């Protein structure tokens, strides 16, 4: 199985890189702002959510400025959301490629995740501005961003493989995905702190793998409290989802070109 996992990255690097470039170029083709949308999109969402949840509802954030508290949760969520919504239809969108070229089909959802990772990288530069504006310091905990980012990629890869394969058989999956992502956002600590979750439901709430990941990002940036239970749930669920998604994808792969 390990050989199957690394095979696309070793022998299909050129195809993967071309698919990534095509995804990036096509996304902003003939748009006025072009690549500025990478920064503009999360910034607009940040401004709207900041107004609603810091002025209207006023969520407590333990002396952390709400805008930067929100930013640390919102940015990886946008990455998560855009990856899954695009991955759900990636096989259908590349029907001609599936029929004409023989290659590991998982390259297609991987290319989506890689291209969206570049968006996340450039959007993250806004974080520097926030730290300067609020005169915040950065500790060595910032390096914990790497394992939590890796964990998120593992979770997304499993879901992307599963959703893309399922959508090929049942085209409703791409619409259901967008609906579920909307609900998923509000059961994750994106716009509000986990401290607002009633204690009676906290154990159930922490079964959501994005809870441990988002809280891990905030721990890395703010050196806040570390929820070890939610983190272990995220690790276990992410690896189980990836293995299951990869298994279903590879098992269905041989009929993709016939169904599409």
- What are the 10-residue block averages of pLDDT along the chain, 260 residues in total? 60 79 71 60 70 63 80 91 91 84 86 89 82 81 93 95 92 89 92 89 93 94 85 96 93 79
Domain ranges of the chain: 64-259
Direct distance between the N- and C-terminal alpha carbons of the chain, in angstroms, rounded to an integer: 26
Pair 190, 214: CB distance under 8 Å: yes
- Distance of alpha carbon 206 from alpha carbon 208, whole angstroms: 5
State the virtual CA torsion across 74, 80, 85, 91 in degrees, nearest 10. Answer: 160
Q: What's the Cα-to-Cα distance from 40 to each of 119, 123, 132, 136, 246, rounded to whole Å?
A: 11, 9, 19, 23, 34
Pair 85, 160: CB distance under 8 Å: no
Q: pLDDT value at position 210?
A: 96
User: Residue 33: CB partners within 8 Å, gap ≥ 6?
Assistant: 40
- Distance of alpha carbon 86 from alpha carbon 92, whole angstroms: 11
Q: pLDDT value at position 136?
A: 78
Pair 217, 148: CB distance under 8 Å: yes
Pair 215, 194: CB distance under 8 Å: yes
Task: Tell me the torsion sign for CA atoms 211, 187, 178, 237.
Answer: positive
- Distance of alpha carbon 109 from alpha carbon 121, whole angstroms: 19
Q: pLDDT value at position 70?
A: 86
- Distance of alpha carbon 236 from alpha carbon 199, whole angstroms: 23
Q: pLDDT value at position 104?
A: 82
Q: pLDDT value at position 155?
A: 96
Q: What's the Cα-to-Cα distance from 160 to each of 9, 79, 86, 103, 179, rounded to whole Å?
A: 17, 13, 9, 18, 16
State the virtual CA torsion across 247, 250, 256, 258 in degrees, nearest 10. Answer: -110
- Distance of alpha carbon 86 from alpha carbon 109, whole angstroms: 8
Task: Tell me the torsion sign for CA atoms 84, 90, 91, 97.
Answer: negative
In a 13 Å sphere around the CA of 9, the CA atoms on its Cβ side amount to 8
Q: pLDDT value at position 94?
A: 84
Q: How many CB atoms lie within 10 A of CB 36?
A: 12
Q: Is the pTM of this model over 0.85?
A: yes
User: Residue 23: CB partners within 8 Å, gap ≥ 6?
Assistant: 111, 112, 115
């Amino acid at each position: 199985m390990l050989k199957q996992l690394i095979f696309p990255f070793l022998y299909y690097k050129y195809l993967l890189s071309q698919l990534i470039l095509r995804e990036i170029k096509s996304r902003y083709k003939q748009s006025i702002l072009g690549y500025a949308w990478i920064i503009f999109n999360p910034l607009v969402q940040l401004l709207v959510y900041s107004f609603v949840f810091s002025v209207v509802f006023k969520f407590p954030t333990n002396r952390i400025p709400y805008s930067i508290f929100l930013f640390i949760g919102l940015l990886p969520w946008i990455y998560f959301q855009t990856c899954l919504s695009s991955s759900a239809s990636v096989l259908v969108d590349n029907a001609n490629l599936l029929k004409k070229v023989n290659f590991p089909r998982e390259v297609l959802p991987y290319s989506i995740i890689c291209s969206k990772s570049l968006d996340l990288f450039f959007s993250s530069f806004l974080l520097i501005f926030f730290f300067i504006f609020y005169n915040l310091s950065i500790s060595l905990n910032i390096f914990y961003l790497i394992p939590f980012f890796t964990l998120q990629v593992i979770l997304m890869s499993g879901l992307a493989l599963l959703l893309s394969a399922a959508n090929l058989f049942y085209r409703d999956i791409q619409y259901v995905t967008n609906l579920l992502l909307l609900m998923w956002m509000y059961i994750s600590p994106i716009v509000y702190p986990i401290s607002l979750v009633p204690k009676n439901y906290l154990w159930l709430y922490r079964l959501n793998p994005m809870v441990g990941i988002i809280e891990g990002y905030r721990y890395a940036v703010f050196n806040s409290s570390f929820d070890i239970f939610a983190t272990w749930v995220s690790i276990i669920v992410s690896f189980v989802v990836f293995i299951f998604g990869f298994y279903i994808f590879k098992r269905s792969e041989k009929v993709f070109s016939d169904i599409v």
